[in-house]
């Protein structure tokens, strides 16, 4: 399984399917933010990260321009990760709260983190076409990992997962803390649960839309859903 994921990640890293995003991610990496001007930016698609045996798959939106587009690891080096990883540490999914670089010693246990799009988009908004281009990578991760629980960080990730599982219907609505059972997919023969959370972007965390307590409750619930399988 490890090598299947490694092969997939190598493929992802060399992807250039979306011309707009390729140009943007490379431009940001060339120009850099002043605070990071001495660093070499990753500037490529950001692969998934974590435990290949994970029962919990976390799906975010897309790399931050100066976060994971700089460091090359999901949610690493920006404010979203600064909110996410301490919560994962408190919940026991991470061995440390800090996430600064690919070599900072961070290890995830029973969790794999990925994204709806792998390249940093302007304004944090990948287009529908770009999300479609990137979807096969997410499908293959699901096929390889066969997660029991998928945690969607934000509405874009939730809608992408509904699309992958061909789920339609008014009963599937994004709201923070909502969970749903899904089954009978060709991608994953095991029944799985979907769990929704607001994305830990500053837009949500600085406004109080997503508090530390609300986020902690998501990871407690993810653990309960694993136990219920």
Task: Tell me how far, at minimum, the Cβ of 16 lies from ligand SF4, in Å.
Answer: 6
Stated as kind and residue range, the H or E segment containing 181 is strand 179-182
Distances (CA, A) of 27 to 24, 44, 67, 133, 144: 5, 11, 14, 21, 33
Task: Tell me how far, at minimum, the Cβ of 11 lies from ligand SF4, in Å.
Answer: 9
- Orientation angle between helical segments 79-91 and 212-228, nearest 10 degrees: 50
CB nearer ligand SF4, residue 18 or residue 28: 18
Name, in order, each residue with C-beta under 8 angstroms of 36's C-beta and a sequence gap of 6 or more: 66, 70
Q: Is 119 in the site for ligand SF4 (CB under 6 A)?
A: yes
Residue with tokens 């990883």: 85
Q: Is 12 in the site for ligand SF4 (CB under 6 A)?
A: yes
Q: Where are the alpha helices (DSSP H) in 60-127?
A: 68-71, 79-91
Q: Is 120 in the site for ligand SF4 (CB under 6 A)?
A: no
Binding segment for ligand SF4 among 92-100, 130-138, 140-148, 215-223 (CB under 6 A)? 130-138
Q: Is 11 in the site for ligand SF4 (CB under 6 A)?
A: no
Choose which of 8, 18, 84, 225 interacts with ligand SF4 (CB under 6 A).
18
Two tokens at 187?
A: 């991608």
Q: Is 29 in the site for ligand SF4 (CB under 6 A)?
A: no
Distances (CA, A) of 80 to 62, 142, 156, 199, 210: 11, 23, 16, 8, 11
Q: Is 21 in the site for ligand SF4 (CB under 6 A)?
A: yes
Q: Is 114 in the site for ligand SF4 (CB under 6 A)?
A: no
Q: Is 45 in the site for ligand SF4 (CB under 6 A)?
A: yes
67/189 Cα distance (integer angstroms): 35
Name, in order, each residue with C-beta under 8 angstroms of 105's C-beta and a sequence gap of 6 or more: 95, 96
**Residues 165-224 close enough to bind ligand SF4 by CB under 6 A:** none
The length of the chain is 229
Q: Is 139 in the site for ligand SF4 (CB under 6 A)?
A: no
Two tokens at 151?
A: 């945690």
Task: Tell me how far, at minimum, the Cβ of 191 lies from ligand SF4, in Å.
Answer: 28
Binding segment for ligand SF4 among 92-100, 113-121, 159-167, 195-203 (CB under 6 A)? 113-121
Residue with tokens 């996410």: 84
Task: Tell me how far, at minimum, the Cβ of 120 lies from ligand SF4, in Å.
Answer: 9
Size of the site for ligand SF4 (CB under 6 A): 14
Positions touching ligand SF4 (CB under 6 A) are 12, 15-18, 21-22, 45, 117-119, 130, 133-134
């Amino acid at each position: 399984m490890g090598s299947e994921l490694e092969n997939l990640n190598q493929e992802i890293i060399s992807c250039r399917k979306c011309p707009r995003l390729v140009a943007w991610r490379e431009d940001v990496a060339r120009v850099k933010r002043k605070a990071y001007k001495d660093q070499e930016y990753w500037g490529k698609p950001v692969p998934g990260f974590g435990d290949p045996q994970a029962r919990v798959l976390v799906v975010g939106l897309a790399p931050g321009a100066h976060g994971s587009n700089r460091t090359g690891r999901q949610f690493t080096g920006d404010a979203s990760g600064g909110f996410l990883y301490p919560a994962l540490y408190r919940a026991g999914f991470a061995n440390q709260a800090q996430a600064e670089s690919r070599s900072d010693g961070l290890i995830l246990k029973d969790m794999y983190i990925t994204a709806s799009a792998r390249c940093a988009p302007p304004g944090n908004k990948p287009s529908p076409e770009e999300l479609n281009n990137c979807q096969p990578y997410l499908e293959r991760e699901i096929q390889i990992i066969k997660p029991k629980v998928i945690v969607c960080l934000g509405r874009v990730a939730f809608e992408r997962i509904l699309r992958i599982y061909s789920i339609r219907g008014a009963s599937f609505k994004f709201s923070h803390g909502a969970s749903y059972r899904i089954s009978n997919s060709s991608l994953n023969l095991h029944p799985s649960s979907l769990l929704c959370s607001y994305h830990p972007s500053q837009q949500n965390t600085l406004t109080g839309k997503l508090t530390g307590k609300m986020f902690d409750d998501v990871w407690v619930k993810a653990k309960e859903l694993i136990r219920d399988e």
